[in-house]
């Protein structure tokens, strides 16, 4: 590789640098250009982080460098741009492996997001191992992306979807778990952190009880990985899914971790280039994982951008950021609890980052509209979790979700905006 190409590859790989000092949210905030703007004449307060997080300058720069100076397809290219792109792409896979503490790079599959990752398992593992009369176990707090693929599979196979219920605090009824684990259970698929309730589920215990019975477990980590360190080997799970755009990376890129023994036994998800070993008009043999599950041209820039996001998180110290977020979440919970007519939905003891609430006499969409006038971005709706809404007998909530670049001043602005909504409608 030429010196120029080597320098470019180093820039794309975004190598780790030493941490710049103790975690400081105000300093970190300056790394995110989008936050430095006004909305409707007010400084932007971005509290829609459970839907997507903003991107640090490091990620934006890496994407620009790739497209400006190294854009090429990966694998099988002998020219130097393709080699740089391939090295950077596979380097991102290695960064994800380290981030999750997976055993091998081959256990990391790039997908388009959490939804795609779960569908991949449903259509590969499910196609091979689920039959008539079998059962898939989920919970009542799942995002639709961890319900609908299993319903589709069950309808196709004649299997049954069974559900771990929740209580009125938004916690899983773990006492109901063991009776639901039967000789017909083929997979347990559970959200790590609820996108509506913020509930941090006892996934290690769930995995342990399932594995005692030889039942694989998939964890939906979309709302978990942005907030604390995840170690898939320590958890003992068989699959772990997350989305890059919730981890300060690009949209359209996600990850499925799968234990290599299971991936080796699973058929392909899609057919096409890149996932084959040999093709004739009579027969095709398939590549080993992860290539087997990555048909076609991948989201190369997205993968490289996700690697840059992971480097950024490592540099700022995710553990220190998690401690700061925990303090900020407690502050926000206390502040919102003091607003007249406001009720927080989900009061589990173990919660992370997300506060969903309803206000007497004000529809969540109206709340979202009013606070937007004050420059505050929140989300209103059922959050792709309609079973949760039905449990609490509500059509929707307003959701505020913090990240490590948010501050107490952001929460204070939200509280003032909510008081305004109360005044307007009540």
User: How far apart are the C-alpha atoms of 297 and 180, rounded to whole Å?
Assistant: 41
Do 136 and 192 contact (CB within 8 A), yes or no?
no
Give me the sign of the Cα torsion angle 231, 127, 213, 290.
negative
Q: Which residues does the annotation mark as catalytic?
A: 384
Angle between helices 57-69 and 3-13 (to 10 degrees): 150
3-state DSSP assignment of residue 139: strand
Angle between helices 114-129 and 148-157 (to 10 degrees): 20
Two tokens, residue 293: 């599950």
- 78 class by beta-carbon count within 10 Å (0-12 exposed, 13-18 middle, 19+ buried): exposed
Per DSSP, the residues of 320-334 read HHHHHHHHHHHHHHH
Q: How many CB atoms lie within 10 A of CB 252?
A: 16
As a whole number of Å, the end-to-end CA separation of the chain is 68
Number of continuous H segments (helices) and E segments (strands) in the chain: 15, 17
Residues with Cβ within 8 Å of residue 215, at least 6 apart in sequence: 181, 185, 186, 187, 188
Do 253 and 62 contact (CB within 8 A), yes or no?
no
């Amino acid at each position: 590789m030429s010196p120029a190409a080597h320098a470019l590859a180093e820039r794309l790989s975004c190598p780790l640098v030493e941490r710049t000092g103790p975690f400081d949210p105000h300093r970190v905030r300056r790394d995110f250009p989008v936050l430095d703007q006004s909305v409707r004449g007010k400084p932007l307060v971005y509290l829609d982080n459970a839907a997507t997080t903003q991107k640090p300058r490091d990620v934006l720069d890496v994407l620009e460098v790739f497209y400006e100076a190294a854009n090429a397809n990966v694998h099988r290219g002998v020219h130097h741009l393709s080699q740089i792109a391939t090295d950077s792409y596979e380097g991102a896979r290695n960064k994800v492996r380290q981030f999750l503490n997976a055993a091998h790079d081959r256990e990391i599959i790039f997908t388009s997001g959490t939804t795609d990752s779960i569908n991949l398992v449903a259509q590969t593992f499910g196609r091979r191992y689920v039959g008539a009369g079998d059962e898939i176990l989920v919970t009542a707090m799942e995002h639709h992306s961890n319900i609908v693929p299993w319903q589709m599979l069950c309808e196709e196979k004649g299997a049954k979807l069974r559900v771990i219920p929740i209580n009125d605090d938004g916690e899983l009824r773990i006492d109901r778990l063991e009776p639901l684990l039967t000789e017909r259970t083929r997979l347990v698929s559970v959200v790590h952190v609820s996108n509506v309730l913020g509930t941090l589920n006892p996934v290690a215990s769930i995995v342990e009880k399932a594995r005692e019975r030889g039942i694989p477990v998939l964890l939906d980590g979309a709302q978990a990985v942005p907030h604390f360190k995840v170690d898939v080997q320590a958890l003992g799970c068989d699959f772990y899914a997350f989305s890059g755009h919730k981890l300060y990376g690009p949209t359209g890129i996600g990850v499925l971790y799968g234990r290599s023994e299971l991936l080796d036994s699973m058929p392909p998800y899609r057919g096409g280039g890149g996932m084959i070993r040999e093709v004739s008009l009579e027969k095709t043999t398939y590549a080993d994982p992860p290539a087997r599950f990555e048909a076609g041209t991948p989201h190369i820039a997205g993968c490289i951008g996700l690697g840059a996001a992971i480097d950024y998180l490592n540099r700022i110290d995710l553990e220190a950021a998690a401690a700061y977020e925990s303090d900020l979440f407690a502050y926000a919970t206390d502040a919102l609890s003091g607003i007249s007519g406001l009720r927080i939905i989900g009061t589990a003891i173990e919660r992370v980052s997300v506060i969903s609430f309803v206000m007497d006499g004000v529809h969540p969409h109206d709340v979202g509209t009013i606070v937007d006038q004050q420059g505050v971005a929140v989300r209103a709706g059922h959050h792709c979790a309609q079973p949760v809404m039905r449990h609490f007998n509500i059509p929707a909530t307003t959701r505020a979700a913090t990240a490590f670049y948010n501050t107490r001043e952001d929460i204070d602005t939200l509280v003032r905006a909510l008081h305004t909504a109360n005044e307007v409608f009540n």
